[in-house]
Amino acid sequence: MFKFFLLSTLLLPTLVLPTLELSTLELPALELPTLRTLCYICIMNNILIENAKQILTCSPEGTRFKSGKAQSEIGLLENSSIYIENGKIKWVGKKLPADLLKKNVKKINAKNKVVMPGFIDSHTHLVFAGDRANEYAMRLAGKTYEEIANAGGGIVNTVDAVRKCSKEKLKELAKKRIDNFISFGVTTMEAKSGYGLDVKNEIKMLEVINELNDELPVDIIPAFLGAHAIPKDKTKEEYLDIILYEMIPQIAKRKLAFFIDVFCEMYYFSAEETDKIFKQAISFGLVPKLHTNQFYSIGGIETAIANKASSVDHLEVMKESEVQQLKDTGIVACVLPGVSYFLNIQYAPARRFIENDVPVAIATDFNPGSCMTENIQLLMSLAAHKMEMKPEEIINAVTINAAAALCISDRAGSIEVGKQGDVVIFDMPDYNNLLYHFGVNCVESVIKNGKVIN
């Protein structure tokens, strides 16, 4: 059972953090503390991270995200400390007042270290079986992603592997990947279905995601992506009916997903079909987000705006008018530089988004076809070199803006009193070293809800 929903029925409303959302978008906030957070409260996760050379708070100053010029404001504190009590940030500053300090506190010396919010990966295809290394070799030999997909490879190949795979095996495979994500500093991630493409296997994937969320220390937020491709044995019309009238009602009833996602792209799902799926899912309480403008511009941006999506993801092919349309909508532009690198396609126009006050998030899009890496730091490096994003903009893109993309910026994505104790400690004298020392993992510790998990 999806714990975020479970909580809303189990927990006292007074325990829910006050919402900080101030934008034009009125998105339902995920409710925390979670069941797991309550467990943590019982075992007292009190940590004092002392005397860090730099703390990057990434505070959005009472709003949901950082956009425009504010995307480069990092909230730098020097020679400061963070006190996390019962899994939540209780205090941030120079010297902890003696009366705040509890007895059973773990102290971490962060002298000459950099501390920032735990990274948030707002777009992953975490759960799958098999691999597509053969397709990768074909691409290196000159074939494109689209050519391989049109010749019967691509997403549907992974669908065959997922359908044959047991739930237990899918979980085991995903757990190893989650360990990798954590090692690179990720404390929260989104994970999609989309390799089942029938009722049984889409539900199987979402059950795996929900169980992983319950069992592991990181937060994993499930997205239903039944509309990822058309299964080989169905017509588009038949499959759309299954999505609309079987999958969405069943998934919503069992509260297996928070988000509804669609691959809005030529040869996959049109803007009109996306709109239909969104409207049905919204009526069942799901929140829309969208894969769009990866290869062609076919109306996904307008559809995302019309349905108040939380984020639009990919955006490699954007008309200037579409950049303008996103202005003032409160929708996060989630760019995926690893896909551009891996598929050798153009990069999303991150600078145009920032210049037009559109908040930018960066995510891995970890998946077997278009970006096979859990290393979010490598993608941050690509964003610097290939998208001309500044280090500060990049750090906000994987923390507070990614939190906004997942509707959790009221409780995660920045180091502020009252928020989850999710932080990463880097063994480096200043934050510029993070991009400078590329391809190497400089994470020293990862702390989730006040507990050291790496």
Residues within the interface to ligand NIG (CB under 6 A): 125, 154-155, 158, 263, 291, 294, 339, 365, 367-370
Which range of residues in 37-45, 232-240, 301-309, 365-373 is near Fe ion by CB under 5 A? Answer: 365-373
Give 85 or 261: the residue with its C-beta nearer to ligand NIG.
261
Strand-pair partners of 50: 109
Q: Quick one: 365 or 392, whose CB is closer to ligand NIG?
A: 365
Q: Contact at 8 Å (CB) between 376 and 395? A: no
Tokens of 229: 């491709």
Q: Which stretch binds Fe ion (CB under 5 A): 110-118, 363-371, 398-406, 433-441?
A: 363-371
Asked whether 333 and 362 are in contact (CB, 8 A), the reply is: no
Candidate list 21, 365, 374, 393; residue touching Fe ion; CB under 5 A: 365
Residue 195 or 426: the one with the smaller Cβ distance to Fe ion is: 195
| Surface-to-core class of residue 282, CB atoms within 10 Å of its CB (0-12 exposed, 13-18 middle, 19+ buried) | middle
- Strand segments (E) across 10-93: 47-56, 76-85, 88-93
Span interacting with Fe ion, options 66-74, 161-169, 279-287, 362-370, rule CB under 5 A:
362-370
Most distant pair of Cα atoms in the chain: their distance: 67
User: Residues with Cβ < 8 Å from 143, sequence gap 6 or more?
Assistant: none
Per-residue contact track with Fe ion, 318 to 357, x per CB under 5 A?
----------------------------------------
Q: Is residue 273 involved in binding Fe ion (CB under 5 A)?
A: no
- List Cα–Cα distances, 43 to 36, 40, 158, 220, in angstroms: 11, 5, 41, 22
Instruction: Round to whole Å and give the CA distance between 186 and 183.
Output: 7
Q: Buried b vs exposed e over 130-165: b needs ≥16 C-beta within 10 Å? A: bebeebeebbeeeeebbebbeeebbbbbbbebbbeb
Per partner kind, with CB cut-offs from 5 to 8 A, the member of ligand NIG, Fe ion, none near residue 370 is: ligand NIG
Tokens of 317: 């092919």
Q: Give Cα 235 to chain centroid, integer Å.
A: 31
Nearest CB to ligand NIG, comparing residues 266 and 417: 266
CB of 49 to Fe ion, least distance (A): 34
Shortest distance (Å) from residue 429 CB to Fe ion: 36
Question: 71: Cβ–Cβ under 8 A, 6 or more apart, which residues?
Answer: 354, 359, 360, 392, 393, 396, 397, 401
Instruction: State the minimum distance, in angstroms, from the CB of residue 67 to ligand NIG.
Output: 23
* Least CB distance to ligand NIG at residue 77 (A): 36
Strand partners, 227: 262
- Decide the pairing of beta strands 423-426 and 114-117: antiparallel
Nearest to 58 by CA among 39, 76, 43: 76
Pick the stretch among 230-238, 245-253, 359-367, 375-383 that binds Fe ion (CB under 5 A). 359-367
- DSSP per-residue string spanning 190-226: EEE--S--SHHHHHHHHHHHHHHHHHSSSEEEEEEEE
**Measured distance CA(259)–CA(367) in Å, rounded:** 18
Least gap, CB of 368 to ligand NIG (angstroms): 5
Please report how close the Cβ of residue 137 comes to ligand NIG at its closest, in angstroms.
Answer: 15
Site string for Fe ion, 137-176 (x = CB under 5 A): ----------------------------------------
Q: Which does 154 bind (CB under 5 to 8 A by kind): Fe ion, ligand NIG, none?
A: ligand NIG
Number of H helices, E strands in the chain: 18, 16
Closer of 232 and 327 to ligand NIG (Cβ): 232
Nearer to Fe ion, 31 or 365 (CB): 365
Taking the least distance from each CB to ligand NIG, the nearer of 155 and 248 is 155
CA dist., res. 417 & res. 62, Å (int): 12
Nearer to Fe ion, 322 or 365 (CB): 365
CB of 428 to Fe ion, least distance (A): 31
Shortest separation between residue 452's beta carbon and ligand NIG, angstroms: 32
* Nearest-approach distance from CB 65 to Fe ion, in angstroms: 21
CB of 251 to ligand NIG, least distance (A): 19
Taking the least distance from each CB to ligand NIG, the nearer of 89 and 406 is 406
Whichever of 53 and 123 has its CB closer to ligand NIG, that residue is 123
Q: How many residues bind Fe ion (CB under 5 A)?
A: 1
Beta strands 423-426 and 443-448, pairing class = antiparallel
Instruction: Choose the contact partner of 155 out of ligand NIG, Fe ion, none; CB within 5 to 8 A by kind.
Output: ligand NIG
Residues that bind Fe ion (CB under 5 A): 365
